Structure 1
Amino acid sequence: MERVWERRDVIRVLIADDEPLIRAGIKVILTSADDIDVVAEAANGREAVEAVRAHRADVVLLDIQMPVMDGLAALPELRRAAPGTRVLILTTFGEQENVLRALSGGSVGFLLKDSAPAELIRAVRAAAAGDAYLSPGATRHVVDSLTTGGTLAHRTEEARRLLATLSGREREILALLGEGLSNADTAQRLHMSEGTVKNYVSRVLTKLNCDNRVQAALLARDAGLKPEGA
């Protein structure tokens, strides 16, 4: 009997968006990569939950604004139905509050719908590898648009106290993270490997007690931390 080989190195993706043209465009981009397959599509959050149960997706691209059940409502159900599946939120500018709710709800990051094709592929690969991915083009916009509680002086003092626990290199990494640079861009800027930058970012998030890159970027902003030469 002929043996059937399973391509375990291929990333299985579910696209959940209520706009057929958006789904079609994302599918064309993703399937152009040899290591990515789009195994299912959904037009709303309820369909996404049903599809993730039927298909062993590694990554779900989840729109926020959908009928029947929106992305924020679907997120916890997706995590219960498929705990090992990583969820990336598809978003647009102007949804900062929703982005933070999605991050706190267990998504691994967010991606702008008008992102470049290469960034879309990079985000899916990062999510499948277990990394968080926050669109560099949106991170700075979200940080600049958020209003945090407390007085400016208090936030600055607290942020500087936390940043004092970082090494010089960790502060350098955080400054670039605060500018919205991806791990790959940071690695290129500092002439380091992307894996090394990833390790530094993980350490920085742990030391600062941050759940994600946006929270760390907020601290960098409050502390007035800027990259050298900025």
Structure 2
Amino acid sequence: MRVLLVDDHELIWNGTRRLLEEVHRGIGAPDDALFFAAERDVAAACARPDRRFDLVLLDYHLPGLAGLQALQRMQQAFEGAAICMLSAESGSEHIRAVLEAGAAGFIPKSYGEADMAAALRLVLRRRVYVPAEFVLSEDVVRHREADEVRSEDLAGFLLGELSARQREVLALALQGLPNKSIGRRLDIAEGTVKVHLSMVYRALGVKNRVGAMCRVMQARAADALGG
């Protein structure tokens, strides 16, 4: 696992690195499995000669390019990497915008050490982290349609009703990979990825990745997607 942190505050660097190392040891990963590097802004990160990272932790507020524009630039420069954003702002609309832009997770900087460690533990395992307060917020939780799969049955639905390829595509989409990267990873056309996702969203009764992400997390059904 190769990890890059992009943040302009040295205190955040040191604290996040310490937590990453503790979490890394706690999940029983090999000592040499984690490479951690830090940069102060997007320009410096994109100037790195070696961009082979599995996970990028990107601060929302950076000098120079910031916010959703920074996320987009990093997605282009570090194609294939999961990019998880950290932000001092944690309103529902803010989180929704970040996730809809393709981030592979959102971690509020207001978290205490225990919650931050739990979030990092999840993203180090290449799983998406979304704050529980967002997943359960009133504007996200939908009223269930009469014929919609119940939350307690969703894991079985994912395993029994979706094809193996659809589960693969959904799992990668929920990691924040763009359609083009998913296509390359699975050796299928980008258009085929879009077709798979459209069918999956329809099956889940959602409109987009954010809806699918919240649906799967509300049902605690992520394990059914493997990985």
Contact 1:208 1:216 in 2 (8 A): no
Q: Unaligned stretches of 5+ in structure 2?
A: 157-169, 175-199, 219-227
- Cα separation, 2, equivalents of 1:67 and 1:88: 18
State percent identity of aligned pairs: 22
Which runs of structure 2 are paired with 1:1-230 in the superposition (5 Å)? 11-32=1-22, 33-34=24-25, 35=29, 37-51=34-48, 54-113=50-109, 114-115=111-112, 116=114, 117-127=116-126, 131-136=127-132, 139-140=135-136, 143-144=137-138, 146=139, 159-161=143-145, 164-167=147-150, 169-170=152-153, 206-209=203-206, 210-212=208-210, 216=214
Residues 92 and 78 (structure 1), Cα distance of their counterparts in 2 relative to 1, 3 Å cut: same
Deviation (angstroms), 1:160: 3.0
1:122-152 deviation line (CA, Å, top 9, x unaligned): 222232xxx3221335544xx24x5x8xxxx
Deviation (angstroms), 1:205: 8.7
- Cα separation, 1, equivalents of 2:122 and 2:12: 17
**Secondary structure of 1:28's match?**
helix
Over the residues paired in the alignment, what is the CA RMSD in angstroms?
3.5
- Cα separation, 1, equivalents of 2:39 and 2:202: 33
TM-score of the aligned structures, taking structure 2 as reference length = 0.59
- Cα separation, 1, equivalents of 2:118 and 2:13: 16
Q: Specify which structure has the bigger relative contact order, considering alpha-carbon pairs within 8 angstroms and separated by 6 or more residues.
A: 2
- Cα separation, 2, equivalents of 1:110 and 1:90: 6
Residues 168 and 125 (structure 1), Cα distance of their counterparts in 2 relative to 1, 3 Å cut: closer
- Cα separation, 2, equivalents of 1:45 and 1:205: 36
- Cα separation, 2, equivalents of 1:40 and 1:96: 30
Figure out how many residues of one structure are paired with residues of the other and give that number.
165
Residues 50 and 139 (structure 1), Cα distance of their counterparts in 2 relative to 1, 3 Å cut: farther
Residues 126 and 213 (structure 1), Cα distance of their counterparts in 2 relative to 1, 3 Å cut: farther
Contact 2:90 2:108 in 1 (8 A): no
TM-score of the aligned structures, taking structure 1 as reference length = 0.58
Residues 46 and 138 (structure 1), Cα distance of their counterparts in 2 relative to 1, 3 Å cut: farther
Deviation (angstroms), 1:27: 0.6
